[in-house]
Chain A
Amino acid sequence: MTSGMLTDTTFYKSQQVLVYSPTGSFLGTWWDAPLLSSIKFSINSATTPWVCKLPRTLRNYNSDGTIAAQNIVNVYLFGPGLPSTGLLKFAGKIDAIKPSLQATGEEAVEVTVTSYDSAIADQGITGSQTYAAGTDPLFMMSQNISSPLSADGTNPTSSGNTASYTFVAQTMKSIYDTCLLMLPANWFYRCNPLPASSYPYGASVTINVPPVTAQNTFIIGNDVSSTTLPVDSTQLKNEIYVIGTGTNINAYVTGSDISTYGARIYYKNDPRLTTVAQATTIANGLLTFYDRALYRTTVRVIDYRGSIGAGVGYDIETIKPGQSCQIIDPTLSPEFVSTVMPIVSVSYNFDSIDIECGSRQPRIDGALAQLEAQFSDYTMGT
């Protein structure tokens, strides 16, 4: 029989923060770290950094030798339903250190831990890479995953689409975003942390498409603290004009809903496009991306852990961006059942998460919402 005390991992969730040198040698444990919160995991983007405030003195904030630039920080979670060796929830490197003394006498050191996956915006190619016609965009993406990122072993190897493109002096993110436009609707990429204790540490890159059936069902009255279900077509674009390099290297495509919304044009100038076929591929991708009314749903989901026997709450640690979800309200008659939506982002706050979902009306298997395009983390840029 378990103790039922707050130490009981069959009821309660806890964390361990382990710190390693840049080469992966273990340095110590931040027992004084606050609970992991205020970080955001997103598809097609990097995880936001974790700003961790440790209650340490100005003079001896690094007495344990763990706080130095580029040291690796791994945050493991323990508790019901989690591996006994812990769930690696966040991994990154120390990028900023700010010891402080306040007028009140409070001393602390604020450490900014940048997620490994920020590499997608910090690394890229300096020359050019040309992929001939007939190349699967998934292949282009897989060829541009570089350390500390590695490919998720479950990634599909074929998307069914082919294209040609020449990448010139682009970050990984820029390359991936371009490839998304060449892939069928709904594809996404997501970064997953890997432990520092084994090679390859860093993050893996999942490239996939959300299933059309719901992987997560949130029940009002049981799991959901609050939700909003707005529809927004203010960002809709139904005329796409793409201009490449060279005479008459351009493409113009339109959606079927101009009579409904009126003409809303989107221009894109990409000097890397050197053929009409390339420009058309990108134009169609942009049309798929932008020509839709946006369902931008937000859901606050509460963790089930700590609620003994009540069965209230959801296993928030299983939810990842790129998964699909739907909301059910059985308190209504007939019960409300939302469309199945892809999860675009998860804002993590240890005891609860705020999910943002986007979907295309009316097809539940339509392209991911324009919301994706609006994500930009602190390092993002193309």
Chain B
Amino acid sequence: MSATSYLLNGLNINNGTSFFVLNKPFDFPTASPALAKIARLEGNTVTGYDIKPRTIPIQVRILGTSRSNLESNIDTLYQALATPNVTLSLHSDGRYWRGTVTDVKLSLASNVPLTAVCTITFTAFQPYPWASSVSANDTGVQQMSGSGPTYTYTYSVTGGGNIWTYPSITVTLKTPSVQGTLTSAYTPSNSGVTQLLCSNPGGTILNNDVFIVGWGNPTQYEYVTATGAYNTGGGYIPISSWTPHYSYASGATVYKAMVLGGAGYTAGGVNNNFTPRTAIPTALSVGDSIILGFGVFGSTPQSLTVSTAASAGQTTSVFFNSVTITNSWPAGTPIVHDIRPTSLTITETTDNRAITVTGDTSLMQVYGDSNIFNCDPTGQLNATGYNLEPAYSVVLNGGSPLAYSGIFPVLQPGATSFTISLTSPSVPSIEVVMAWFSRWVS
């Protein structure tokens, strides 16, 4: 039977031949209460606790087959111990502390030839050991609940370990959208563009379909009109001659809009529906916001509220709450399904910890965009499991840290309840992926 492995900086200090762990503690970390004396009250009151770093003494016996072999084994051991900020694993499940060997006492054993006994003092600056592998929870795509404009999704995650830990939470916008991305940059100097180089947005693209180039950018976007189906070989959508008003980088989103059909609208008329010129790309729910004239350069678009649900691919009239149309719009005018959130809050209801991000430059705006909340103050973890910097941060698609308000959620060893709240002009769908390393008290 082979000896159990105990690893210190990768060295097995219980290899059954030259190293044998004689003693290992599984002590509780020291908690130092912040005490205060109240006059004329017996005892103290406590206002908090300071969890101290762990000091872990490990006794190891070193054997040699000869004097030189013993000395060589000691050298090997010392080489492993001399490196600061290493890992120590004493459990069968591979959980580990990170720290530094801060003291070693070694003496040759009396009356036992070719044997030394040493006591290694390992200081774990973070007292709780981490799991060696990442755990994760994926909600899958979830349509959020509510009547708007704030929609919620509530669920629970079981953490593992036996003490709280710090997750990375990735919230991805999954509100259905037909879209692609530019595969070439465009600038106003690109006059008379007739082939929009982009990935295939999917679905059937017909003559007169309309796309918003730059969708998700809060200020710079405009529409183009397709003249035919996506050209797979050339990797482009054929479009009516287009000269960009703004510069668009490769990777900018191309978003399929609905198209105003019939005779268009005349300013001042009262309307409650439009007949789409081509099939609408995505389903609409009652209360969703659609924007008439979005992407028409130099115009003032008008927001409308869907009054009757519509299905993806529908070619019959789409109904909205009756309004006076403020501008005249010809047939072919884009109408977008506005899915861009304005506020995102993650509430860890178990411990009443909530964090909020707002604003169109901070929030996921386009299908597939993600806001990542790294809740680990030590920067231990990212969505895929490892080594995220900076600690305690919120980013959009891996960008720079974003402003937020509130406090980062944590994950308890048992069930922890979360509510995701999204303020959105239309019923949103999201996917939440939570990743964490479980931790233990010892």
Contact = CB atoms under 8 A, between A and B. Distances in A.
A305 interface: yes
A310 B45 contact: yes
Contacts of B51: 6
Contact of B41 (A9, A12, A222): A222
Q: Which of A12, A25, A85, A310: most chain B CB closer than 10 A? A: A85
Q: Which of B378, B390, B405, B412: most chain A CB closer than 10 A? A: B405
Interface residues of B, number: 37
B292 to A, nearest CB: 32
B407 interface: yes
Q: Is the interface of B mostly helix, strand, loop or mixed?
A: loop
A9 B48 CA distance: 12
A78 B407 CA distance: 7
B232 interface: no
B403 A26 contact: yes
Interface stretch (B6-14, B32-40, B112-120): B32-40
A217 interface: no
A110 interface: no
A224 B356 CA distance: 37
Given A3-B164, A26-B402, A16 B407 contact: yes
A137 interface: no
Given A9-B407, A225-B37, A313 B351 contact: no
A29 B391 contact: yes
A355 interface: no
A332 B196 CA distance: 86
B326 interface: no
A312 interface: yes
A199 interface: no
Interface in A9-56: 9-10, 12-14, 16, 18, 20, 25-29, 31-32
B49 interface: yes
Interface in B386-439: 390-393, 401-407, 410, 412, 416
Contacts of A64: 390
Contacts of A85: 354, 356, 405-406
A307 B401 contact: no
B45 A312 contact: yes
B2 interface: no
Q: Is the interface of A mostly helix, strand, loop or mixed?
A: loop
Contact of A221 (B34, B40, B46, B356): B40
Interface residues of A, number: 49
A16 B163 CA distance: 21
Interface string B10-52: 0000000000000000000000001011111100011111010
Contact of A3 (B392, B393, B412): B412
B392 A221 contact: no
B336 to A, nearest CB: 29
A185 interface: no
B47 A14 contact: no
Contact of A6 (B41, B48, B390): B48
A302 B392 contact: no
Contacts of B39: 220-221, 224-227
Contacts of A310: 45
B377 interface: yes
A5 interface: yes
B351 A9 contact: yes
A302 B412 contact: no
Given A31-B392, A307-B47, A312 B38 contact: yes
A12 B164 contact: no
Contact of B351 (A10, A31, A220): A10
Given A84-B406, A221-B40, A312-B38, A306 B47 contact: yes
Nearest to B362: A26
Given A6-B51, A7-B164, A26-B401, A307 B351 contact: no
A2 B40 contact: no
Contacts of A381: none
Given A3-B412, A9-B352, A225-B39, A351 B47 contact: yes
B38 A224 contact: yes
Contact of B350 (A3, A18, A32): A3
Contact of B40 (A1, A10, A220, A351): A220
B353 interface: yes
Q: Which of B36, B354, B390: most chain A CB closer than 10 A? A: B36
Interface in A74-95: 76, 78, 84-86
A312 B51 CA distance: 23
A352 interface: yes
A2 B351 contact: yes
B38 A12 contact: no
B401 to A, nearest CB: 5
A86 B407 contact: yes
A32 B37 CA distance: 28
A31 B47 contact: no
Nearest to A26: B403
Given A2-B352, A7-B353, A31-B377, A307 B46 contact: yes
Nearest to A329: B40
Contacts of B390: 28-29, 64
Interface in B355-403: 356, 377-378, 390-393, 401-403
A28 B410 CA distance: 19
B127 to A, nearest CB: 12
Interface in A264-311: 302-303, 305-307, 310
Contacts of A86: 405-407
B406 A197 contact: no
A222 B46 contact: no
A2 B350 CA distance: 5
A8 B391 CA distance: 20
Nearest to B165: A7
Contact of A352 (B36, B41, B393, B403): B36
A364 B404 CA distance: 45
Interface of A: 1-3, 5-10, 12-14, 16, 18, 20, 25-29, 31-32, 64, 76, 78, 84-86, 197, 220-227, 302-303, 305-307, 310, 312-313, 329, 331, 351-352
Given A2-B350, A10-B352, A313-B45, 15 more contacts: A3-B164, A7-B353, A13-B47, A16-B392, A20-B403, A28-B392, A29-B390, A84-B352, A221-B38, A221-B41, A224-B38, A226-B37, A307-B45, A312-B41, A313-B36
13 contacts: A8-B351, A9-B407, A13-B48, A28-B393, A29-B401, A78-B353, A84-B354, A85-B406, A197-B403, A225-B39, A306-B47, A313-B38, A329-B40
